Amino acid sequence: MASKKIWTKMKLNITRDQIGLIVGKKGTVLFGDIQSPAREEYMKKVNEEGKIKLTYPNTNFKVEFPSETSKDSNVYVRWTCPRIIQKSDTMDRKVFDMIVKKHVLKVQSRILEIDESKSKMVKYEKTFRIRACTERRRVGMFIGNGGENVDKLKTSIKDILSLTSRVWIDILEDGDDEIEYMYDFDDDTDDSAWFTVKFNYIEDESINNAEVESIIEKFLDEFEDDEDDEELLEDDEEILGEW
């Protein structure tokens, strides 16, 4: 007569929509971070104590997440013990359950840390648009050799504003004159190049628009009287896109 399965049930602190994170794609997290390490740890412990030589088939166990009920919306995980453990009151079972709980809590902690980090992450975004009226091939002076000038601008913004997130600079061929822009670089030509400077920042960071505008204006002012042809781009050289 087959013995009745004995289950251990544990309440989790994750939400039901996070169960997929503890399972992983095709069960990779559940098997790779909970089941496999738990049974390996239990096997090692038992074998070191010399009680019995355990192998993988003897330590297989099942893990599942009971469905939500009308009275209880909490998330629970439950598991069976390996077939080698027959009685619920044995010390072996208690040791095994403690090992499984340890690995479950490790994965849960990782999920909660990621979730907390996302909640503190960038929720706010600043976008600054600059219209530069200049010959298209002179846009190369803003970019610099290998992008060194735009890299300098990005570094200045990050350092001065103490940003931890990335700064994006997009150079566009066409812009929209209906959209407000904060700076107009003009060297008396009919061509226009549009720059978009964008970055994210976390809620606790105080970002002053005037300070950002000052950084960008100072950067562009360096090119007001720059007629150095060495900075010019060839007509077929790529300038558009993200830097």
3-class SS string, 11-44? EECCCHHHHHHHHCHHHHHHHHHHHHHHHHHHHH
- What confidence tier does 188 reach under pLDDT thresholds 50, 70, 90? low
Host H or E run for residue 77: strand 75-80
Q: Which residues of the chain does CATH 3.30.300 include? A: 7-119
Name the burial class of residue 181, with classes exposed (0-12), middle (13-18) and buried (19+) by CB atoms within 10 angstroms of its CB: middle
pLDDT > 90? residue 191: no
- What is the secondary structure of 98-161 as a DSSP string? HHHHHHHHHHHHHHHHHHHHHHHS--EEEEEEEEEES-GGGGHHHH-GGGHHHHHHHHHHHHHH
Q: CATH for 124-242?
A: 3.30.70
Does the domain at 7-119 match CATH 3.30.300? Answer given as yes
- Among residues 137, 128, 129, 131, the alpha carbon closest in space to that of 186 is found at 131
Poorest-pLDDT segment among 56-60, 199-203, 239-243? 239-243
Average pLDDT on 175-184 reads 56
Host H or E run for residue 186: strand 183-186
- Among residues 188, 212, 187, the alpha carbon closest in space to that of 199 is found at 212
- Among residues 221, 219, 225, 238, the alpha carbon closest in space to that of 146 is found at 238
pLDDT > 80? residue 152: yes
Per-residue pLDDT at 37: 92
List, for residues 122-135, the tens digit of each pLDDT value.
Answer: 556 677 777 666 65
Most confident region among 25-34, 50-59, 151-160, 233-242 by mean pLDDT: 25-34
State the average pLDDT for the chain. Answer: 76
List, for residues 41-59, the tens digit of each pLDDT value.
Answer: 998 888 887 766 777 778 8
- Among residues 156, 151, 137, the alpha carbon closest in space to that of 240 is found at 137
Q: Which residues of the chain does CATH 3.30.70 include? A: 124-242
pLDDT > 60? residue 156: yes
Residue scoring higher pLDDT (228 or 21):
21
Residue scoring higher pLDDT (36 or 225):
36
Per-residue pLDDT at 237: 47
